[in-house]
Structure 1
Amino acid sequence: MYKMNKKKLFLFLMIISSMMVVSSTSWLSMWVGMEINLMMNIPFLFTNKSKEMSEKIMIYFLIQVMGSTLMLTVITTKNFCLEYKNLMNLILSMSMMIKLGIPPFHLWMPEMLNKLNWNIMMVMMTLQKINPLVMMVQLMSQNSIMPTIMITSASLGSIMGMNQLSLNKLMAFSSMNHMSWIMMSSFMMNNMWIKYFIIYSLINYSLCYTLNKMNVFYMNQMSTNTDMKTKIMFSLMMMNLGGFPPMPGFMLKWMVMEWMANSGFMTIMTIMLASSMITLVFYLRMMYMNTMVSSLNFKFKMIKMNKNMFLMFIMNMVMPMMILI
């Protein structure tokens, strides 16, 4: 009970630090908020005192410190290097890409997220991305390299997830692909990226809750003993995450594609759309393993859909439509 209360306290302080970053008016106060967030996230990640968990925490800490060091260096020298303003903005964007795990600075994220429990995975893929995204959005229009980063993130996030058997790694590469769509939607002047991120967070939360209840971490465990209602519900949630029409996740990508077509980003739109089709392949693999393949091992208890799982399904399917409207 005491350990659970400590986890809630650290989570609350992470939310407060994220609010501090969002409401900040200077780069330095943003940096302070991000450091508070990092210090609160380290004890939150500790689920056990194993050597493997200690290595993951150390990798995460060193990577985040590297990004924070680059950010602080740019903030302190930006006013003295006005003739290199574009370079400073590029380095500042790179520091946020390191924190977000966006290609080509992504190698740490799949390994770090592998074998973590689904509750921590949900926090890492949603709450911990708010602070770097807020800074990335403010720098988006000042960097000409951003379209290249979006193409790289969409392509690698889809291709590298093809041969993954670990569901944690698969969700990490899926997050990279969605980050490209979020960054592209930030070019729109109507705060579309906020709606995209909120809906993406809702979908991820409901999926992580369902996978936690099913207690699966690898692809071959998807054939677990679940009732047909749970199988259908999980399949619809996976189609929603993949942007399969006519799901709410597809409506998001449709609006971003419409804006890209009207703005002349036809090449980028084609590559990102092709990458989304590739991500559908490993989503469909999970759906096939869950729905079509039956487990012959009956020593585990049959998992049935309960009230909380049904609420997660409503959150996944209905609430995104309410936000879009």
Structure 2
Amino acid sequence: MMKNFNMLMFLHVTIMGTIMSLSANNWLTIWTGLEISIMSIMPMIPNNNFLSSEASVKYFMIQSISSSMMMLGVLLLLINSKIEYQMILTSSMMLKMGIAPFHNWILEMIESVELMIMFLLLTLMKIAPLNMISYLMFKNNLFIMTSLLVGSVFGLNQMSLRKMMCYSSIFNMSFMLASISTNSIWWFYMGTYSLMLISILFILSKMKINYINQLSLNEEKMSSKMNIWLAMLSMGGMPPMMGFMLKLMVIQMMMSSKEFLISIIMIMSSVLVMFYYLRLSFVSILFASSSMKWKAFSTVKSSSWIIMINIFMMPLLLMLKT
């Protein structure tokens, strides 16, 4: 009980630090909120895995380096230095979020943390740095293209679902960076991506799956396999799932901004991401299965919530967009 109370307390302080950074009007308060979030999530990282303590120390070192870079950029800003302080501030935030090419640290620690901490690292801990980047007038095209290529290409040869989710997060972060100039778009993208990610992690936790080959060997009900199948298709961006609407919205924005090179890279890399999510879908629903898929939802009524969200969300998003 005490452990649960401590986890709840640290989670609340982490959320409080993020809110503090979002509502701040000066760089010092933003830095303070970021440090509160970092110090609060660190006690939640250690678990029964013997590598979790190493992951906690690694996370502390990386975040300390990025915070030092941020304070250096703020000092250069305050003294009106000719050094490009916006580049230093942006690089510190990219390192803090684990965006390519600063992504190796999050890939190494993601295997040893619990799924709830993984969700926090990939969603909540990236909101405040993204909001800070939106304050800077710095072109992020290099980081966007690098994240698109790294997240799509390097995810093809992964057998670990955790690392695949991490590469997918890097890929989706590039779409958020591309729309960082419009707060309503990247906030909506982050919220919808968080909904898709938590649905996948909930199913993986329930089925106790960590690797691709476990998808075909598990003895779960067909309704559970259908749920993970639809969640994977939505995360990959298969129309008419809601994940497709997010990517379409950002690509349309980039085309209207005359960013044709980034738009082409987005489209080509989205095909690669769709490929490895389709591979997961085939393994989970087609192989080693002799039952008829269209009867999966006729027996369990509670298993249809994912298909309802994924399919019927896209017409609603189109209505809101217009």
> Same-fold call, TM > 0.5?
yes
| Residue from 283, 286, 294 that aligns with 2:280 | 286
How far apart, CA to CA, are the structure 2 residues paired with 1:9 and 1:314? 34
| SS in structure 2 at match of 1:186 | coil
TM-aligned CA distance change 1:281 to 1:313, over 3 Å: same
Alignment of 1:1-325 (within 5 A): 1-48=1-48, 50-84=49-83, 87-139=84-136, 142-144=137-139, 146-187=140-181, 189=182, 191-223=184-216, 224-294=218-288, 311=305, 325=320
Unaligned runs of 5+ in 1: 296-304
Unaligned runs of 5+ in 2: 290-298
Match for residue 300 of structure 1?
none
TM-aligned CA distance change 1:22 to 1:323, over 3 Å: farther
Q: Is the 8 A contact 2:242 2:311 kept in 1?
A: yes
How far apart, CA to CA, are the structure 1 residues paired with 2:309 and 2:121? 19
Q: Is the 8 A contact 1:206 1:315 kept in 2?
A: no
The amino acid of 2:35's aligned partner reads E
The amino acid of 2:269's aligned partner reads S
Q: Is the 8 A contact 2:178 2:250 kept in 1?
A: yes
Shift of 1:211: 0.8
Shift of 1:152: 0.5
TM-aligned CA distance change 1:312 to 1:250, over 3 Å: closer
Q: Is the 8 A contact 2:241 2:313 kept in 1?
A: no
How far apart, CA to CA, are the structure 1 residues paired with 2:259 and 2:204? 36
Deviations 1:287-318 (A, max 9, x none): 111112228xxxxxxxxx98876556655555
Which segment is superposed worse, 30-39 or 256-265? 256-265
How far apart, CA to CA, are the structure 2 residues paired with 1:117 and 1:28? 31
| SS in structure 2 at match of 1:191 | helix
Q: Is the 8 A contact 2:13 2:40 kept in 1?
A: yes
TM-aligned CA distance change 1:16 to 1:273, over 3 Å: same
TM-aligned CA distance change 1:136 to 1:308, over 3 Å: farther
RMSD, matched Cα:
2.1
Deviations 1:217-272 (A, max 9, x none): 01111111122222222111111111111111111111211121122111110011
Shift of 1:77: 3.0
Shift of 1:319: 6.0
Deviant stretches of 4+, over 2 Å? 81-84, 305-325
How far apart, CA to CA, are the structure 2 residues paired with 1:83 and 1:316? 49
TM-aligned CA distance change 1:194 to 1:7, over 3 Å: same
TM-aligned CA distance change 1:229 to 1:134, over 3 Å: same
Q: Per chain length, whose mean CA-contact separation is higher, i.e. which structure has more relative contact order (CA < 8 Å, sep 6+)?
A: 1
| SS in structure 1 at match of 2:82 | helix
Which segment is superposed worse, 25-34 or 109-118? 109-118
TM-aligned CA distance change 1:44 to 1:311, over 3 Å: farther
Shift of 1:58: 0.9
How far apart, CA to CA, are the structure 2 residues paired with 1:269 and 1:11? 37
How far apart, CA to CA, are the structure 1 residues paired with 2:81 and 2:115? 45
Aligned residue-pair number: 310
